[in-house]
Structure 1
């Protein structure tokens, strides 16, 4: 058996997946853009891996493949997972360089500063320990004590990796492959290997939150796919391969979702077609009372299951939008009048129903919400529309749907487009935040001049130093903001904790409120005082939803005041161009910074003398919520 990535397209022959060196870099770059839509065959994984490993100049792939150093540590045979990690990495936009620790030597390599692991300097460390290594193969007389020792060893390893490398740590859960000794009542024998594996996974989940590491939950995947899809006892006994080669691509997919989520690449918005997607039938023909939806029929309940899942996604922070070929008034009628509709208009951030093509309307939705097209997931029952969007907008994620609507929600869930590492209060309020932003835009276009419009918002910018209460949101924001981000530097949870603990750093968080409500934390600034008397702004990022309101100047006033308090005479700004942050190319010159040089990697450097006047932030009241009002 094998796992099935059933939300992806399959292809017996994808011609560009070849190891042929005659394939030019330019062609490979263009074709790699399509990889996100396909499940690769076993041989295709190896062909693509060989071609990727021949790349000698990663800079030629800028904007398509981001270089990433990934170390894999374990105590069993893991070599067979590396080609899948590299190939699936390309599907997620990464050019992965893998390091495999010596067999069973992961603790030594972590602790030894002269080891190959330290020389490799990983950005991501995947700890892929087999279940035998975790819990042994025999009944334990003291299972709790044994698990305590295992968890202490793991916690020490995690902390050392984070301290030494600042790397993202991904910990694989125990594969539930140990044979039961008590059947359904395995809990009655706490020392059995099967029961200990279950208990260990529960401890791992608790510790992950405490330690800021990410779990690769292969036990959850086995619960869906079945153990035979993930583990072959023959291969384990012959070669100590715990995860079978047939499952390698799915394993890599789950791991790379975590890497993508940590770097802010998870999708943000679920865009839904209507007819035969959210309900059965065509509302324009059948009328609001003729569509198939609701309790009493299997088909009607199938559509409800997708609506219910979409609503739950919205509650945890995913935006919802509608993209339908329909008369808008007719389409809205179902949301307003049908008694069994779970989704209502107040749940939808952007509602687009007309007779234009779907790619055009998806672009409108992205513009209206203020997010990138690569943040959209488009769900449509019609294969023609799905393929049209894939061809026209390859950055939009489009799951391949089964014929039966009862499987829509499950397919979407398994696709993992909305992978998240934590949940903040702002995530829960995201729909309201973006809805309020849409209301602001309507006011802005309602005939007022820009100055009057900004005055009408009655904006208040609140700021304070980083603190433990805001730590989770800060980590989330610095790792997912790509567009208004001057350097796109990422920070781990441990690194943010260190910034909080250091009172000598400039580490500021900003929140914006106005007449439409609370925008949440909208800006993060991190700076360090240099021996030369400058505050080096290594990170300055903002939410794109507050652009055009003068918030940048208001933030600068706070930054300048805090820098003076630290004894600085100037600010030193950095802008490192990426494929996604061109919008802030003029950020520093607009604020009055003077360019001083350009580094070899294209990073431009800027200076702002603090004896100069700060640009006026009209119509914004600035408040230090730790004490002083400015």
Structure 2
């Protein structure tokens, strides 16, 4: 099996690793390890990269200086996982994470969560992975057990898992991830297996279905190893009988790099590092042929030929990604009018021009165009995934823009979608109605940008947008999307603190604290949830623990309108002032002057503040609030502001 097939092969990974061992600068060594993690690798090469990275950190390299976000994962397992830890750390490097991984004693996950485990408590995990196997705590049902008996046994087992999940959240405020179960015993009844309630595979299937339903209800994420086993097929390194009996290994050494990546992509999503935008080449990527030479009628697309159907499948998968919230863009060396005409005139196009939030077709180099796309969409260049059939173009982008993810596409377009899906660039920790509308929101942003370029009077332009800011205290309906936004926003984020649903729920339940979600709509459409405020008491002030906003609404006086909402909420709770905090993260420099620009004045940090934090104070009755052109709706009433 080709491990990590979406990653490009290195011309000589062994030689590169040998050369890296001579590096005596720890920071440079860590950067090299992170770069090499982005190439296709087996178990041995993965271990060598991990040793380089661990040596660099031991010698003083700092992950943040290498552009890596530290993240702590505790793996509580009922099967052997020690051989998987290097793969998790190296996969983390490839996804811009410096993973610290802690494990407990083999099979002691219950004791570690329900009892006292000082080492686990000191580690303070941000994520807890329950990596369980199908032989752990078997249900011991007779084959003649009725459907009702099996259901009751499954429910009891899942109730135990619920208690463990809740305990993990209670103790660590961590994101909990549950691994689904891979059948280890061979089926007894052949194709009749599913019709016998207590057969081995039926029981595992029911357990997995119940685990998935419970996880959805509890806000627990899944590492769905059962689906991965179904995708890979039997005998591909999951549940191998020899490895199990020798060392209680559910996952073989050969499959370790892929398993590590499955863990790392979930951690990256929880840390807000998943990709946001799929940028598509056109010729021989979305259709066969060259539109400028072959014309609309001459390109290969749609029913009637294997090649045309293959490209149609690529478009359908891209459209489905757009429907789940991935921003779609086009970057093509082409004539703009000709390229856009294909979307409007070809009868078999599954993607429509309205699906594309940013369309760039010209004869400039693609690296420059990708920078332009990121700028126009107000997202980081590291939020992009670039899909291009041309190996030379892929190589150029990897060299010029290493932050951009560029999957190594197979030769046949029929496999493009599967390759993109396997890479896990768009892993998520939630899916909401706002996510589904994100593509249209960004497309509307392009319309706003065009309107602004035509405007001669900025104040008149803003008034003409007819903007309405809706502020709501975070409740059950807003909770998943609120937490998702907190955990993935990096640029307009004053502190870049991450959180969990349990933590936000607790804050929202405290009458002295504040948890606000803010939505913005205008004449072009609904921008969805665009800002989150989390604040708590600090003496006579309301301390703003988290203030983040979507970059697509910048320059529209939303910051000033949000301050008005904050001031009203703080005054209603009896506070005299607002206390703003800024913690530099390396990616949020754009908001360094946010508080002084709004009229806050510098002040001393409160007790317990992190050394790098800077604080500003805003006395509520000292001066008029900054003006803005936005109407504000609260839960109680609508207040029109000039």
Band the TM-score falls in, shorter-chain normalisation: over 0.9
Is the Cα contact below 8 Å between 2:30 and 2:66 reproduced in 1? no
Is the Cα contact below 8 Å between 1:3 and 1:229 reproduced in 2? no
Query: Aligned residue for 1:223?
Result: 230
Query: Aligned residue for 1:163?
Result: 170
Distance 2:624 2:513 in 1: 22
For residue 23 of structure 1, report the CA deviation from its aligned partner: 3.8
For residue 166 of structure 1, report the CA deviation from its aligned partner: 0.7
Is the Cα contact below 8 Å between 1:139 and 1:193 reproduced in 2? no
- Aligned in 2, Cα 1:160/1:295: closer, same or farther, shift over 3 Å? same
For residue 499 of structure 1, report the CA deviation from its aligned partner: 2.7
Q: Does 1:241 align with 2:249?
A: yes
Match of 1:371 among 379, 388, 392: 379
Distance 1:137 1:184 in 2: 22
1:210-289 correspondence to structure 2 within 5 Å: 210-231=217-238, 232-289=240-297
**Deviation sequence 1:120-150 (CA, Å, 0-9, x none):** 2111111111110053677564433332222
For residue 334 of structure 1, report the CA deviation from its aligned partner: 1.2
For residue 60 of structure 1, report the CA deviation from its aligned partner: 5.8
RMSD over aligned CA atoms reads 1.8
Query: Aligned residue for 1:432?
Result: 440
Distance 2:234 2:188 in 1: 17
Q: Does 1:17 align with 2:11?
A: no
The number of residues matched between the two structures is 628
Match of 2:193 among 186, 202, 207: 186
Query: Aligned residue for 1:349?
Result: 357
Query: Aligned residue for 1:459?
Result: 467
Is the Cα contact below 8 Å between 1:475 and 1:492 reproduced in 2? yes
Is the Cα contact below 8 Å between 1:35 and 1:90 reproduced in 2? no
SS of residue in 1 equivalent to 2:203: helix
Query: Aligned residue for 2:636?
Result: 626
Is the Cα contact below 8 Å between 1:3 and 1:230 reproduced in 2? no
**Deviation sequence 1:59-99 (CA, Å, 0-9, x none):** 36435222222111112221111111111111112222221
Query: Aligned residue for 2:152?
Result: 145
Is the Cα contact below 8 Å between 1:71 and 1:124 reproduced in 2? yes
Structure 2: 5+ residue runs without aligned partners? Answer: none
Query: Aligned residue for 1:40?
Result: 41
Structure 1: 5+ residue runs without aligned partners? Answer: none
**Deviation sequence 1:401-441 (CA, Å, 0-9, x none):** 11111111111111111112221111111122111111111
Q: Does 1:389 align with 2:392?
A: no
For residue 322 of structure 1, report the CA deviation from its aligned partner: 1.0
Is the Cα contact below 8 Å between 2:33 and 2:53 reproduced in 1? no
Distance 1:36 1:331 in 2: 36
Query: Aligned residue for 1:324?
Result: 332
Query: Aligned residue for 1:116?
Result: 119
SS of residue in 1 equivalent to 2:297: coil
- Aligned in 2, Cα 1:365/1:399: closer, same or farther, shift over 3 Å? same
Q: Does 1:444 align with 2:444?
A: no
Distance 1:207 1:437 in 2: 38
Match of 1:616 among 619, 623, 626: 626
Distance 1:213 1:193 in 2: 26
Q: Tell which deviates more after alignment, 183-192 or 11-20.
A: 11-20
Query: Aligned residue for 1:5?
Result: 4
Is the Cα contact below 8 Å between 1:3 and 1:246 reproduced in 2? no
Q: Tell which deviates more after alignment, 56-65 or 617-626.
A: 56-65
For residue 587 of structure 1, report the CA deviation from its aligned partner: 0.3
Is the Cα contact below 8 Å between 2:544 and 2:580 reproduced in 1? yes
Query: Aligned residue for 1:494?
Result: 502
Q: Does 1:82 align with 2:85?
A: yes
For residue 10 of structure 1, report the CA deviation from its aligned partner: 2.2
SS of residue in 1 equivalent to 2:389: coil
Is the Cα contact below 8 Å between 1:138 and 1:193 reproduced in 2? no
Q: Does 1:510 align with 2:518?
A: yes
SS of residue in 2 equivalent to 1:266: coil
Is the Cα contact below 8 Å between 1:143 and 1:196 reproduced in 2? yes
Is the Cα contact below 8 Å between 1:37 and 1:397 reproduced in 2? no
Distance 1:540 1:322 in 2: 32
- Aligned in 2, Cα 1:417/1:463: closer, same or farther, shift over 3 Å? same
Is the Cα contact below 8 Å between 1:134 and 1:197 reproduced in 2? no
TM-score by length of 1: 0.96
Distance 1:389 1:129 in 2: 40
SS of residue in 1 equivalent to 2:469: strand
Distance 2:407 2:138 in 1: 38
Is the Cα contact below 8 Å between 2:26 and 2:61 reproduced in 1? no
Distance 2:188 2:461 in 1: 71
Is the Cα contact below 8 Å between 1:32 and 1:91 reproduced in 2? no
SS of residue in 2 equivalent to 1:520: strand
- Aligned in 2, Cα 1:256/1:3: closer, same or farther, shift over 3 Å? same
